[in-house]
Structure 1
Amino acid sequence: MPAHAILHLYELSIPLFMVVWLTEFDVTAATLGGIVTAGYAMWGLGAIPGGKLADRYGSKRLIAGCLVGMGASFLLLSLSFDILVMAIALVCWGTAASVYHPAGLTVISKGIDQQGSAFAYHGMAGNVGIGLGPLIVAVLLVFFEWRLVAALLTVPTFFVFVLTVFTEFDETTAVTDDDRSESNLTFRDGSILLFTSAFAVIFGIVVIYGLYLRGALTFLPGVLADFRLFERVVVGGREIEPSQFVYTWILLVGVVGQYAGGKLIDRLDRTEIGLGGALLALSALSVLFVFVADRGIAFLLVLSVFFGFVLFMIQPFEHAIIAEHTSIETRGLSYGYMSLGVFGVGAVGATVTGVVLTYFSMSVLFVLLSGTALVGSGLTAFLYFQY
C-alpha cells in the first residue's frame, strides 16, 4: 500500500516540476513535453517484461528494486543541472516504475485469499497518493527549491524499501498444489496462451477503461474551469481556481470507490456483474454531466462525487477479473499487459480528448466518453456469457 501511494506521488509530482523546469532549463513546452512523455512511456512499455520477471523471480524482489530505482532516479533528478541529465532521470524513473503494478497485483492475486478486499485497500492507497501527492509537493515547492523537494521525496521511499526487505510473507498463500505444479512458460508461449483465452476480451476492457481514465482526468480540471460555477475567485490577493479543488475531491472520493468495489468482489458470484454494472453507470454519469453542468453548484458537486466513486470503483474489479481468468504461470505477464493497456495505450485518450475539445465541444466529449464506457460494459457482458 505505501509503495503504491509513493509510485503515484512521484507520477503526479512531475507535472508540478514541469512549471519550474520550463524556466530553469530554458526549453520549449514541446521539448519538455517530449522528454516527460518518454519517461511516462517507459512506465507502460516496461510493464510486460516486468510482469514476466514477477512470474520468474517473485514480487518482493521487484517491488524492492522498483523502490530503489524510483528513489535513485529522483535523487539523480535533484542533482541535474542540464536537460540531458533530467531526461535520463525521468526515463530511469519510468523504467523502474513500470515493474510495480505487475509485481504488486501479482503478489495480491497469489498471496491473499480475500482478493477483493486486498485489491480495494491497495487501490485506496494509490488514490491517496494521487489525491494528496500533488498537494504535498505543491506546498513543499512554496517553501523549498525544486531540487531539494525532489530529494525529499526519496526519504519516504527509503523507509518503505526497508519495510519491504525486512517484512516476511509467503507470496503464494492463495496458490493451490495444482497451480504450483504448472511449468514456467516462455514469453511467447505465455502471450499466446493469454490472447487465445478470455484475457483477450479482458484486455479490450482494460484498454477502453485506460482510454476513458486518461482522457477524462487529463483535461477534467480545464473542463470544470469552463463552467460558470467555477469562475476564479481572489482570496488574499491571489487567484484561486475552485475547479482544482473539485478535481482533487473527485480523486479522493475514489478512495471510497476502491473500497466499495473490493468489498463487492468478495460478495458477488461473478465479478463480471459488478464490472459491467460500474461501466454502465459510468456511461450514464458521463451523459448526465452535459445536462447538470449549469444547474447549480450542488447538483454538480453531487454528480462529481458519484463520478469519482464509480470511476475508481472499476479498478479492483479489473484486477480481480484478471486473477479469475488467468493461470498462475501467466499472472505477472497478464498484469504487465494490463499496465500496458491502461498506461500505454490508454495515454492515447489524452490526445483524443484534446482533439475533441479543440474542434468540437464539451458536450461531444462527454457523449464520446459515455459511448466508450458503454462499449466496455458490452464487452463485459460478452465475457459473462461466453466464459
Structure 2
Amino acid sequence: MDGDERQIVTITMLAHAAVHVFELSIPVFIPIWLVEFGLTPAEIGLVVALGYGIYGIGALPGGVLADRRGSRRLILFSVVGMAASFVALSLARDPIVLALSLVLWGVAASVYHPAGLSLISTGVSRRGTALGYHGMAGNVGIALGPLATIVLLLFFDWRIVALALTIPAIVTIPVVLVSNPDESGAEDAADGDGEPDDVSLRRTLIDDTRTLFVGAFAFVFVLYVLEGLYYRGILTFLPELLAGFAVFEPVAVGDRSIDPDQYLYSGLLLVGVASQYAAGRISDRIRPERGVLVVFLSLAVLAVLYVPAVEAGPVPLIAVSVLLGLFLFGLQPFMQASVAEHSPPSVRGLSFGFVFAGIFGIGAAGAAVSGFVLTYSTPAVMFLVLAAFAALAVPVAYAVLDRY
C-alpha cells in the first residue's frame, strides 16, 4: 500500500473501532437500564431499536453525501457526534432523554459505514485485504467496548462509564483532522475510462438508485436486511440471556462478584477479529457470495444449537459461542466485497448507504423482535426465529451465485 492507502486504512480502522465500542456497549447497559428506568424487555428493546434504527436509516443520506462531498469530513462528523451523544447519555435521568441520546448516537454513527467503506473501496487497490483490516479494527471495538464496560462497571457508576467510553472517539479526531488522502486513487487507476465527476454530480438519487437495483445488488440488499435482523436480534439481549442461564456461578474476587457469563460475551465478540481478517483475505480469492452462503447456513445451525448447548453445560456453550462469533463477524468482509462487486464506483457511497440502512435500519427491528419474544415466550423460541432469518438468506445468496 502507498502512503494515501495507509492513511485511509488508519483513519477507517480507528473510526470503525470507535463506532463499535459505542454500539456494543449498549447491550451491556441494558440490565442496568431495565432497573433504573423501570422498563420491561419489550420497552427497552423498542428504545434501543430506535437508536439502532436511526443508525441504519441515516446510512442512506450518509452514502449520498459520501459520493457528493467526500468521505473524510463525514468520518470526522461521525466521531465527534458519537462522543457528544454519550456525554448526553451519561446525563439521562428518564427514558425520554435516554432515547434521545441513543437517537443522537444513531445519527452520528450512521454516516460512518457508507463513508468509511466507500473510501476503502475507491481509494485502496487491495480492497479485500483492506476490508479485512477494517473489519479486524471493528471487532476490536466490538469486543473491547463491552469488555471495558463490564470491567469499569465493577468500580464506577454507569454514567461515569459512559463518559469513559468517549475516549476512543476523542483519540481518533486529531488523526482524521491531519489526514488528507486521495479518496479515489484506486478507482482512478483501475477505471480510467469511468464516468467524469461532473456527470456523476448531476445524476439524481432516483437515477442512481435505478442503476443499483436493476441487478444483483437488489439481492445483496436483501441479504443485508436478513443479516441485520440476525445480528441485532442476537447481540442486543445476549448479555441479559447469558446472565439468566444457570451455567456459570458468580466468582468472588475480594468483596466483589464477577459474572463469567459477561466475559463469555466479550470473548464471543473478540474471536471475530481473526475471522474478519481471514474472511477479508479469502474474499480476494473466491466469489464473496459463496462465502456468504456458507456463513449464513452455519449461523442458522448455530442458532438452533445455542439453547441445547446451554443446557449441555459450560464446554458446549463456550464452543458454540466461539463458532457464533467466528461466523457472525466473518460474514461481514464477504458481504462488503459483494457490494463492491455489484455496484458502480460512481455510486459506491450510495450503495453502502443502502445496505447499511438495510442491516442497521430495517435490521434494528431484530432488537424489537427479540425483546417481544423474550417478553411473551422463551429464549429457545427467540433463537429459532433468528435461525429462520439466517436460513432465508441461503437461497438469496444462491440466487446471486446462480444468476450473476
**Alignment TM-score, normalising by the size of structure 1:** 0.88
Greater relative CO, 1 or 2 (CA 8 Å, sep 6+): 2
Partners of 1:109 and 1:280 in 2: CA distance? 27
Contact preservation (8 Å) 2:53, 2:365: no
Contact preservation (8 Å) 1:287, 1:367: yes
**CA offsets 1:311-346 (integer angstroms, 9 cap, x no match):** 110011111100000011221111111111111111
**CA offsets 1:234-281 (integer angstroms, 9 cap, x no match):** 55454443222211111111111111111110121x111111111122
- Equivalent residues, number: 384
Partners of 2:68 and 2:289 in 1: CA distance? 29
Q: 2:383 aligns with which of 352, 366, 376?
A: 366
**CA offsets 1:169-198 (integer angstroms, 9 cap, x no match):** 221122111335363222222222222221
Is 1:251–2:269 an aligned residue pair?
A: yes
Contact preservation (8 Å) 1:42, 1:98: yes
Is 1:198–2:213 an aligned residue pair?
A: no
Q: 1:319 aligns with which of 316, 324, 336?
A: 336
In the other structure, the counterpart of 2:350 is 333
Partners of 2:123 and 2:162 in 1: CA distance? 34
Partners of 2:169 and 2:384 in 1: CA distance? 41
Instruction: Out of 161-170 and 307-316, give the one that drifted further.
Output: 161-170
Is 1:207–2:225 an aligned residue pair?
A: yes
In the other structure, the counterpart of 1:49 is 61
Secondary structure at 1:62 match in 2: helix
Call closer, same or farther: CA 1:235–1:162 in 2, change over 3 Å. Answer: closer
Partners of 2:384 and 2:135 in 1: CA distance? 27
**Displacement of 1:83:** 7.3
RMSD, aligned α-carbons: 2.8
**Displacement of 1:45:** 2.0
**Displacement of 1:371:** 3.0
Instruction: Out of 227-236 and 239-248, give the one that drifted further.
Output: 227-236
Instruction: Out of 107-116 and 284-293, give the one that drifted further.
Output: 284-293
Instruction: Out of 196-205 and 135-144, give the one that drifted further.
Output: 135-144
Call closer, same or farther: CA 1:151–1:247 in 2, change over 3 Å. Answer: closer
Q: 2:238 aligns with which of 180, 196, 220?
A: 220
**Displacement of 1:82:** 7.8
Contact preservation (8 Å) 1:51, 1:102: yes
Partners of 1:349 and 1:375 in 2: CA distance? 15
Paired amino acid for 1:242? P
Instruction: Out of 272-281 and 203-212, give the one that drifted further.
Output: 272-281
Contact preservation (8 Å) 1:80, 1:86: yes
Contact preservation (8 Å) 1:276, 1:381: yes
Partners of 1:155 and 1:39 in 2: CA distance? 21
Contact preservation (8 Å) 1:225, 1:231: no
Q: 1:4 aligns with which of 1, 16, 22?
A: 16
In the other structure, the counterpart of 1:158 is 170
Contact preservation (8 Å) 2:275, 2:329: yes
Is 1:310–2:327 an aligned residue pair?
A: yes
Is 1:62–2:80 an aligned residue pair?
A: no
Call closer, same or farther: CA 1:17–1:356 in 2, change over 3 Å. Answer: closer
**Displacement of 1:203:** 0.8
Paired amino acid for 2:366? G
Call closer, same or farther: CA 1:104–1:240 in 2, change over 3 Å. Answer: same
Task: Give the percent of matched residue pairs that are identical in Structure 1 and Structure 2.
Answer: 47
**Displacement of 1:150:** 4.1
In the other structure, the counterpart of 2:397 is 380
Where does the alignment leave 5 or more consecutive residues of structure 2 unmatched?
Answer: 1-12
**Displacement of 1:146:** 5.1
Call closer, same or farther: CA 1:172–1:53 in 2, change over 3 Å. Answer: same
Call closer, same or farther: CA 1:153–1:222 in 2, change over 3 Å. Answer: closer
Partners of 2:102 and 2:49 in 1: CA distance? 9
**CA offsets 1:20-52 (integer angstroms, 9 cap, x no match):** 6778xx754268776554433321221111110
- The 5 Å alignment of 1:264-343 reads 264-268=282-286, 270-343=287-360
In the other structure, the counterpart of 1:177 is 192
In the other structure, the counterpart of 2:136 is 124
Paired amino acid for 2:39? A
